[in-house]
Amino acid sequence: MDRLEAMAVLLAAVDSGSLSAASRQLGLPLTTVSRKVLDLEAHLKTRLLIRSSRRVTVTDAGRAYVAACRRILEEVGEAERAATGEYCTPKGDLFVTAPIVFGRLHVLPIVADFLRAYPDINVRMMLADRVVNMTEEHIDVALRIGELPDSSLVATKVGSIRRIVCASPAYLASRGSPKNPSDLSAHDCITFEGLMSPREWIFRVGKVVTPIAIRSRLVVNTAESAIDAAIAGLGLTRVLSYQVADARRAGTLAVVLERFEPMPWPVSLVHPGQGLLPLKTRAFIDFAAQRLRARITVVA
């Protein structure tokens, strides 16, 4: 039995929630995945997983063993990276994640320049509007928008982004421009459920943060849809400032209630803080941070 491989299979089953999901993730037959977990249990003479038709549950003994497997595989991976020179020269595979719109508009162009500058580094880029677990998904660098929770992650701040309310000039001409957040009760609103509540928006009145009730005439699940609907004159929407920079320059959207905006959200590059930092990661953070600061200054 290849014990390290069996440990990796066990972790895949636990992290994905089922043997079949681990089979798809690893590209192995389900019978192979099942056999490797059974071999580990036979070797340890204890049950690690409780299997059902849809998912697996970790036993008490399995929970401690899974944690140990994770540490062991991380240490083996770090040793292999050191042996291949990843800590001596920038090289290897780099996994980067960012929010969808910001990643497409601002991170991807920087990644393209980075690849030209570092021919020995390959980048895998995942764009997702969710907080990705960097350890479980083996992410090297993530771009995060918003306040960061206390964690072992190390952050490099690259700027801040405003949360703005905007509408088309045609809508504002026909319905009037709100002067105070309370005026929103007389307006149609378009809400992006990934960013805000469809029932209320938060504003800063003086030093007080105040929720203001709104009426959502349209609720969408992407920022692009909310922006398109606002440009079409369907109502007011709240999005992040970089998402409407082009529309504002083109004059198809205008910002309102600027003096009531909540505090801007910080934008940071984060990476796991444990162990040595591979040069590929340090090279990317140093390369990207300066360029992101310049871009965010323009769109904030």
Rounded distance between C-alpha atoms, residue 97 and residue 140, angstroms: 8
Q: How many domains does the chain have?
A: 3
**Maximum alpha-carbon separation in the chain:** 75
| pLDDT digits 0-9 by tens, 167-198 | 999 999 999 999 999 999 999 999 987 667 88
Confidence (pTM)? 0.65
Q: Give the pLDDT band (50/70/90) at residue 82.
A: low
Give me the pLDDT at residue 185, please. 93
- Residue-level pLDDT at 196: 72
Last residue in a domain, options 21, 52, 83:
83
Integer Cα distance of 45 and 277 in angstroms = 38
* Distance (Å, whole) CA 121 – CA 270: 19
Q: With pLDDT > 90 as the criterion, what percentage of the chain qualifies?
A: 49
Average pLDDT of span 48-74: 84
Torsion of CA 238, 244, 245, 250, to 10 degrees: -120
Tokens, residue 270: 């984060």
Whether residues 24 and 152 share a domain: the answer is: no
Q: Which residue would you say has higher pLDDT here, 25 or 291? A: 291
| Residue 239, beta-bridge partner list | 164
Q: Calculate mean pLDDT across residues 144-162.
A: 86
Who contacts 59 (Cβ-Cβ below 8 Å, separation ≥6)? 46, 47, 48, 49, 50
> Percent of the chain having pLDDT more than 70?
93
Average pLDDT, the chain: 88
Q: Give me the pLDDT at residue 187, please.
A: 96
Q: Are residues 179 and 253 in the same domain?
A: yes
Residue 84 or 248, more confident: 248
The yes-or-no verdict on residue 79 having pLDDT over 80 is no
Task: Return the amino acid letter for 127.
Answer: L
Is the distance from CB of 105 to CB of 40 less than 8 angstroms? no
- Whether 155 and 269 share a structural domain: yes
Coil, strand or helix at 135: coil
Q: Are 136 and 221 contained in the same domain?
A: no
d(CA 250, CA 227): 13
Beta bridge partners of 190: 218, 237
Q: Are residues 174 and 30 in the same domain?
A: no
CB 84 within 8 A of CB 92: yes
Tell me: do 50 and 105 sit in the same domain: no
Domain residues for 224? 163-260
Residue 236's domain is classified under what CATH number? 3.40.190.10
pLDDT single digits (tens) 203-261: 998 888 999 999 999 999 888 899 999 999 999 999 999 899 899 999 999 999 999 99
Task: Assess whether 242 and 284 both reside in one domain.
Answer: no
Strand, helix or coil for residue 125: strand
Phi, psi at residue 255, to the nearest 5°? -90, 140
Concatenate the DSSP letters of all residues of 51-98 into one string.
E-SS-EEE-HHHHHHHHHHHHHHHHHHHHHHHHTTTTTSS-EEEEEEE
